[in-house]
Amino acid sequence: MDSTYRIVVGVDGSPGGRLALSWALREAARRGGTVQAVIAWQREGPAVAPVIDINPEVAKDRAVQILSRELDAAMADFTTPPPVAAEVVQGSPAPVLTRAAADADLLALGSHGHSRLHRAVLGSVSEECIRHGNCPVVVVPMPSPDRQLTEVVVATH
């Protein structure tokens, strides 16, 4: 067991993010490590449609609520969950996550965290983390409706 083994996981409230969080918790428990769950928040509204100026406190509070809800739900599956640190950080997801994982053993992300249009306009958070990260990146895929999750892709640059 290695209590210094740390997995950073991006949390965004999406189904893919939930799978990544669940995977990270199981992997940390298996390795005797820890999880750092990170959610990034931004003041700006969506990148498509007119920009909506969101009050920063409202945006941050929403992120805190999402992270708390996701952690509570994911940790309910464990009798003894691994140690978890929760972090809410202002900024764009990919830079926030790569900074948080700068000295981590793994960065875990869910696939399909946003709509196709959002990914096409802004680029893929997973791809940016793979390109700019300092540690291996695990992208937990969404299983197709007729299959269970059986494979996880680990990318290093």
Q: What is the pLDDT of residues 60-95, one digit of tens each?
A: 999 999 999 999 999 998 999 999 999 999 999 999
The number of beta carbons lying within 10 Å of the beta carbon of residue 2 is: 10
Give the chain's mean pLDDT. Answer: 84
Whether pTM exceeds 0.85: no
Q: What is the pLDDT of residues 114-142, one digit of tens each?
A: 455 545 544 589 899 999 999 999 999 88
Q: What is the pLDDT of residues 3-25, one digit of tens each?
A: 689 999 999 999 999 999 999 99
Which among 149, 143, 144, 113 is positioned nearest to 128, based on CA atoms?
Answer: 113
Q: Letter for the amino acid at 37?
A: A
Domains of the chain: 6-155 (3.40.50.620)
